Amino acid sequence: MRNRLLAVVAAFAVTVTAFAQPPGGGGPPPAAVRVAAAERLTLSPTTTVPGTVTSRFDARVAAEVTGTLVFVADTGTAVQEGDVVARIENTQLRLVEAEAAASVQRETTRLTFLAREADRLDTLYQDGTVARSTYEQTVNNRDVSRSELAVQQARLAQARDQLGRTEIRASFDGVVAERLSQAGERVSPGNLVVRLTAPRELEIVARAPLASVPFLTEGLTLRVEVGDAVASAVIRTIVPFGDARSHLFEIRLDLPADGDWSAGQAVRVAVPTGGAREVIAVPRDALILRREGAAVFRISAENQAERIPVLTGASDGEMIEVQGMVQAGDRIVVRGGERLRPGQPVRVLTD
């Protein structure tokens, strides 16, 4: 009885062992992976610097005459160039304008009279009927009146200019972003009244290291990261004067037409720090990062995983330079490599 029981147990153990073994013999089962080919690319080493989306037109508009504000546009009001965004009480200036206009009218009438009188006396003087001194005095009075009229006309123009400045107008199409003074407040020349910004005229302002100056030119396209999204922006202008403390200089980039951009948005800009060179590159997802360093798994012709230690270098988007025993065209694991072991058989998935 005991021998029969031992025989049953032995048979069960053999059966379990048979089921536990993978088809085809011992070792781990083939791992499902996705691969991509290593590529030979021309890349430049880059560094990522912070940038900010700003409006190209952002102005704090100030009063130019003294007076009390009677109107200030609400925050968020959309305006066009020339629209009134604030108005100053102008009674005093209207009175000054009226006085200047009356002076111009008075001097115009006087000049008209003296001009006719000078013409009349000129004829009489030629005939010898009027003394020369009388004629010359009239001509002199006419010339003085003409000069006085010019002075009064200038004063009228000044009065009208001051009166026009009681209406503070937008210098470009935009939006009132902030009220800096309120209706009822008394302002003087230089006091800020509103902040005006153009939400559709946007650009990226970033500060790059001085080492990047030789590798940046106007019109160069740079990679821009906005959260998880990636876009491209073109350098519009470079200010190649670095800050003595930070050793950074400013670059300004035109935003692409597509995309949901807003002023104040934070972005990351990839700027080159060296010249372009030919390298072997793989997708970033292929990198296996461990304490001992970075590596990738290459798939051999026999569909077995080979662990290749690498050093990383320049990058461009999802591609990154690797230095090691990797050649262009090698099949590199980009999915499923986290638990691979050297020599493990794999099954390559295709879309």
Per-residue tens of pLDDT for the chain, all 351 residues: 444 544 444 444 444 344 444 444 456 678 899 999 999 988 877 888 999 999 888 899 999 999 999 999 999 999 999 999 999 999 999 999 999 999 999 999 999 999 998 888 888 888 878 888 888 898 999 999 999 999 999 999 999 999 999 999 999 999 999 999 999 999 999 999 999 999 888 899 998 888 788 888 899 888 888 887 888 899 999 887 766 677 788 899 998 777 778 888 899 998 888 777 889 999 988 999 888 889 999 999 899 999 999 998 887 778 888 999 999 999 999 998 888 889 899 988 886
CA neighbours closer than 13 Å in the CB half-sphere of residue 97:
14
Do 343 and 304 form a contact (C-beta atoms < 8 A)?
yes
Please, what sign has the CA dihedral across residues 112, 155, 168, 265? positive
Separation CA 179–CA 74 (nearest Å): 7
- The candidate with the shortest Cα–Cα distance to 263, out of 178, 334, 166, 346, is 178
Determine the CATH number of domain 46-56+202-272: 2.40.30.170
- The helix (run of H) or strand (run of E) holding residue 204 is strand 202-209
Q: What is the pTM of this model?
A: 0.59
Separation CA 346–CA 28 (nearest Å): 10
- Options 2.40.50.100, 2.30.30.40, 3.20.20.140, 2.60.40.1180; which CATH number does 58-89+166-200 get? 2.40.50.100
Residue in this structure with the two tokens 């009390």, named with its chain if needed = 68
Do 56 and 202 form a contact (C-beta atoms < 8 A)?
yes
Structure tokens at 247: 């050793």
Taking the C-alpha atoms of 287, 32, 34 and 284 in order, what is their torsion angle to the nearest 10 degrees?
Answer: -10
- What are the residues whose beta carbons fall under 8 Å from the beta carbon of 103, sequence distance 6 or more? 152, 155, 156
- The candidate with the shortest Cα–Cα distance to 207, out of 245, 247, 261, is 247
Determine the CATH number of domain 28-45+277-348: 2.40.420.20
**Rg from Cα positions in the chain:** 42
Do 204 and 53 form a contact (C-beta atoms < 8 A)?
yes
Alpha helices, H only, 21-131: 91-127
Quote the Cα angle for 262-317-335, to 5°: 120
What is the residue extent of each domain of the chain?
28-45+277-348, 46-56+202-272, 58-89+166-200
